[in-house]
């Protein structure tokens, strides 16, 4: 059937490659290592690796990735489960019957000359392959459709179709051979071809390239500075127009009107450029872009209907004054302040609600107590509210009709005095201060978040400069796993995913292809030099440059430890002015140094002692003060 076709061809190709395998002794050593690794498996006797003297070392393949995934409880169906935090490193196929799925089925796929049976799902953007296993929805491989060079039925076998990928793309020019029932092959080919053409046009069309170029120009510092300058000049002209109030038939009015139209045209062009370069969702997700669109649109509307006697024209023209607020979207410092204010709306609104409730209570009390004495100030709820507003805002009390000191004999009216004291104490000294405190607290928190984001960006830049190509993967691992047991299990599952074909080892080619396909924030691409460094000059691989599970686990644990040490070093450099943080981080670095590195430990301990002395001196000075 259609599975046997690819299986037979896979064995034939393995036969053709056997002459390229290294000498017999090295291969025997390799086989011994693999068999030792597989020795704990209950079905190890069924799939031993053998050495054939006659044909120069042809290896018997491990039956399937699903069998190998059972090693130490690593199930193929759960291979990506522990990596779904921090960016979903491995990824899943869409759920069965998902609307985004165009076609799906269980097919035979030839990958790296290994035949695997897996779930295959076609979406509008990708062709995805699951890990082998009847229920597995964990994504083992994928082909971005915009990188499909050719998709066609195989001329020799009617049940096989081929997909050729771009050489420099996600799949490094690999050719995938997929076998399906003969009646379904044409359906797969006819679905993939148009979607690949559409995806390619969406990713590489002239419109996309033009958007990238225009966006780079628009987001450049000189362009943003020029737009900010124009906004300031326009606001100055609007303010000048409001001050001079030129007559409609004067030359100055005509000049001001022409300048207003000129700036409106400029801002309309600027909005169109922004809309084109960020079309569609990125534009509307930014609140400042929405504000720009509203202000410019209302300005255009007011200009179009200015010649008609339309009610409300004055209100529309006042939007010119709001153009200066667009400056906050161009300058980072102003944007931080506005963001802090907007983030304070809900907590401050709650405090204002309490303040309003207390004010209403005082208004009702004022009507009840003083309505008959001063109908002008406390005759109704509204008059009472206006009187209290004057008291709170301007310190003005109706001393004519409600004097604290009686005019007849100069004695004190304690009811009025108690009312005023309670009003000032509750409204001004307590509740209003609560509102200010909440506003200040939210502003400080917003600034702290902004500072933390800046420091995180600096830390990422430091990681890029001094890290390894595995940096994005290591970051996700550190953020995802809480315990060492979880970490080791995640490493084993990553090994299963990278070991396409389930042969029980990883080499440079598998790592190079597999790491590129992980869902990290930055695509991981390793070179042969990186592979040499990762394997510690091939001490973590065998004579053929292949790494088994134990060696891969040792490599990953070493890389994670180095990543944490580099992160501590970078954070220490960023916290030089914080003595207590610097001392604590230096202590952590000492604990993480490997045994035998006495020189580095002594250096760090000396630095730690110096910082502790500085901290003790600072604390002593604070205590004396």
CB under 8 Å to 64, separation ≥6 — which residues? 116, 117, 132, 502
- Predicted pLDDT at 53: 37
**Mean residue pLDDT across the chain:** 77
- Predicted pLDDT at 6: 54
CATH number at residue 224: 1.20.120.350
Query: How is residue 379 written in tokens?
Result: 């005759």
Q: Are residues 490 and 584 in the same domain?
A: yes
Q: Are residues 394 and 506 in the same domain?
A: no
- Predicted pLDDT at 398: 79
Q: Are residues 225 and 325 in the same domain?
A: yes
Q: Are residues 306 and 400 in the same domain?
A: no
pLDDT digits (tens, 9 = 90+) for 124-178: 999 998 877 656 677 878 899 999 999 999 877 778 999 999 987 888 888 898 9
Q: What would the DSSP string read from start to end of 53-72?
A: TTTT-PPPPPS-HHHHTTGG
Last residue of a domain, one of 73, 95, 113: 73
What residues in the chain have per-residue pLDDT under 70? 1-90, 111-114, 133-136, 310-315, 459-467, 501, 571-625
- Predicted pLDDT at 44: 36
Q: Are residues 356 and 393 in the same domain?
A: yes
**Per DSSP, what are the bridge partners of residue 46?**
none
Q: CA 304 → CA 68, 196, 260, 261, 272, distances in Å?
A: 72, 45, 13, 11, 18
| CB-based burial label for 276 (10 Å; 0-12, 13-18, 19+) | middle
- The strand ranges marked E within 44-166 are 101-111, 114-123, 126-130, 139-144, 148-153, 160-165
Q: Are residues 520 and 574 in the same domain?
A: yes
User: Does residue 14 sit within a domain?
Assistant: yes
CB < 8 Å & 24+ apart, contacts of 186-195: 186/153, 187/103, 188/103, 188/122, 188/161, 189/151, 189/152, 189/153, 189/161, 191/102, 191/103, 191/122, 192/122, 192/127, 192/145, 192/148, 192/151, 192/163, 193/151, 195/102, 195/122, 195/124, 195/145
Q: Are residues 299 and 415 in the same domain?
A: no
Q: Are residues 271 and 358 in the same domain?
A: no
User: Does residue 512 sit within a domain?
Assistant: yes
User: Does residue 411 sit within a domain?
Assistant: yes
Q: Are residues 478 and 616 in the same domain?
A: yes
Task: Report whether 149 contacts 202 (CB < 8 A).
Answer: no
User: Does residue 525 sit within a domain?
Assistant: yes
User: Does residue 133 sit within a domain?
Assistant: no
Last residue of a domain, one of 305, 330, 355: 330
Angle at which helix 345-370 crosses helix 381-394, to 10 degrees, equals 120
pTM of the model: 0.63
Q: What is the largest CA-CA distance in the chain?
A: 128
Last residue of a domain, one of 43, 58, 73: 73
> For 371-413, where are the alpha helices, taking DSSP H only?
375-378, 381-394
- Predicted pLDDT at 409: 77
CB under 8 Å to 173, separation ≥6 — which residues? 164, 165, 166, 167
- Predicted pLDDT at 320: 78
- Predicted pLDDT at 614: 63
- Predicted pLDDT at 608: 55
Q: Are residues 325 and 423 in the same domain?
A: no
Between CA 550 and CA 553 the distance in angstroms is 5
Q: Are residues 378 and 271 in the same domain?
A: no
Number of domain units in the chain:
4
Task: Report whether 556 contacts 484 (CB < 8 A).
Answer: no
User: Does residue 176 sit within a domain?
Assistant: no
CATH number at residue 422: 1.10.287
Q: What are phi and psi of 128, to 5 degrees?
A: -115, 140
Between CA 298 and CA 304 the distance in angstroms is 10
- Predicted pLDDT at 222: 92
Range of the domain at 432: 345-442
Q: Are residues 489 and 612 in the same domain?
A: yes
User: Does residue 107 sit within a domain?
Assistant: no
- Predicted pLDDT at 577: 59
User: Does residue 570 sit within a domain?
Assistant: yes
């Amino acid at each position: 059937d259609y599975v046997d076709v690819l299986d037979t061809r896979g064995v034939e190709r393995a036969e053709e490659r056997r002459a390229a395998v290294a000498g017999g002794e090295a291969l025997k050593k390799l086989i011994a290592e693999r068999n030792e690794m597989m020795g704990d498996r209950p079905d190890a006797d069924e799939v031993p690796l053998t050495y054939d003297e006659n044909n120069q070392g042809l290896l018997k393949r491990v039956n399937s990735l699903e069998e190998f995934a059972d090693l130490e409880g690593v199930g193929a169906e759960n291979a990506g489960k522990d990596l779904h935090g921090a960016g979903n490193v491995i990824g899943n196929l869409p759920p069965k019957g998902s609307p985004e799925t165009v076609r799906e089925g269980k097919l035979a796929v030839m990958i790296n000359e290994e035949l695997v049976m897996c779930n295959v799902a076609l979406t509008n953007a990708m062709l995805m392959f699951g890990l082998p296993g009847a229920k597995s929805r964990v994504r083992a491989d994928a082909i971005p459709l915009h990188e499909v060079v050719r998709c066609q039925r195989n001329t020799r076998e009617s049940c096989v179709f081929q997909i050729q990928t771009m050489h420099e793309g996600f799949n490094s020019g690999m050719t995938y051979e997929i076998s399906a029932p003969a009646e379904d092959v044409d359906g797969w080919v006819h679905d993939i071809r148009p979607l690949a053409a559409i995806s390619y046009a969406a990713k590489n069309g002239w419109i996309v390239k033009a958007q990238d170029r225009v966006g780079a120009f628009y987001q450049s510092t000189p362009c943003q500075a020029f737009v900010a300058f124009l906004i300031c000049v326009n606001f100055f002209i609007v303010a000048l127009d409001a001050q001079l109030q030129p007559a409609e038939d004067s030359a100055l009015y005509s000049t001001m009107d022409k300048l207003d139209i000129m700036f409106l045209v400029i801002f309309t062009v600027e909005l169109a450029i922004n809309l084109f370069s960020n079309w569609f969702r990125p534009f509307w997700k930014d609140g400042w872009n929405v504000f720009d669109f509203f202000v410019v649109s209302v300005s255009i509307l007011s200009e179009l209907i200015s010649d008609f006697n339309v009610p409300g024209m004055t209100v529309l023209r006042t939007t010119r004054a709001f153009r200066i607020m667009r400056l906050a979207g161009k300058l980072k410092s102003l944007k931080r302040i506005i963001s802090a204010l907007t983030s304070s709306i809900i907590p401050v609104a709650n405090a204002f609600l309490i303040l309003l409730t207390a004010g209403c209570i005082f208004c009702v009390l004022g009507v009840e107590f003083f309505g008959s004495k001063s109908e002008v100030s406390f005759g109704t709820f509204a008059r009472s509210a206006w009187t209290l507003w004057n008291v709170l805002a301007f310190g003005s009390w109706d001393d004519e009709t409600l004097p604290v000191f009686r005019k007849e004999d100069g004695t004190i009216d304690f009811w009025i005095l108690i009312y005023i004291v309670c009003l000032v104490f509750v409204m001004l000294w307590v509740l209003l201060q609560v509102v200010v405190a909440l506003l200040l607290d939210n502003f400080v928190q917003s600034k702290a978040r902004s500072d933390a984001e800046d420091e995180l960006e600096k830390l990422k830049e430091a990681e890029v400069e001094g890290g390894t190509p595995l940096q994005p993967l290591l970051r996700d691992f550190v953020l995802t796993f809480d315990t060492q047991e979880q970490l080791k299990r995640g490493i084993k599952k990553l090994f299963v995913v990278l070991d396409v074909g389930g042969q029980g080892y990883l080499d440079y080619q598998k790592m190079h292809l597999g790491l590129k396909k992980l869902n990290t924030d930055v695509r991981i691409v390793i070179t042969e030099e990186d592979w040499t460094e990762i394997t510690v000059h091939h001490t973590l691989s065998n004579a053929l440059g292949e790494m088994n599970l134990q060696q891969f686990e040792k490599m990953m644990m070493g890389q994670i430890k180095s990543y944490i040490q580099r992160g501590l070093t970078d954070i220490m450099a960023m916290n030089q002015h914080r003595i207590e943080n610097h001392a604590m981080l230096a202590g952590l670095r000492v604990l993480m140094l490997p045994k035998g590195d006495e020189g580095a430990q002594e250096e760090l301990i000396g630095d730690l002692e110096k910082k502790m002395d500085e901290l003790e001196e600072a604390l002593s000075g604070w205590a004396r003060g």
